[in-house]
Amino acid sequence: MFMDDFKLAQCVMLRGVGYTHGEIAEKLGVKLHQIQYALTDLNEEARLKGDMEVYLRVMSAGFGPKLLRLIDKLGA
């Protein structure tokens, strides 16, 4: 895959709220074909493994570490 977990999670989030592939590419600073490849790859994976499983894996891998660091800072 061409993107790290955080950018992939952002890509899924932005697509979910209606951004086009081109808008996502511009917003994340990546090439259009990277967005198209990533979303096509995720779509194929979701068809095999299930939508919820793939969505939760992507979102937790992308946003999970950032949330844990924030929680850690708040607890300190």
Residues 6+ away with beta carbon under 8 Å from 62: 5, 6, 7, 8, 9, 10, 12
Q: Quote the CA–CA distance of 29 and 18 in Å, as a whole number.
A: 18
> Chain centroid to CA 8: how far?
3
Q: Which residue has the tokens 């300190």?
A: 76
pLDDT in tens, 48-66: 999 999 999 999 998 888 8
pLDDT digits (tens, 9 = 90+) for 13-48: 999 999 999 999 999 999 999 999 999 999 999 999
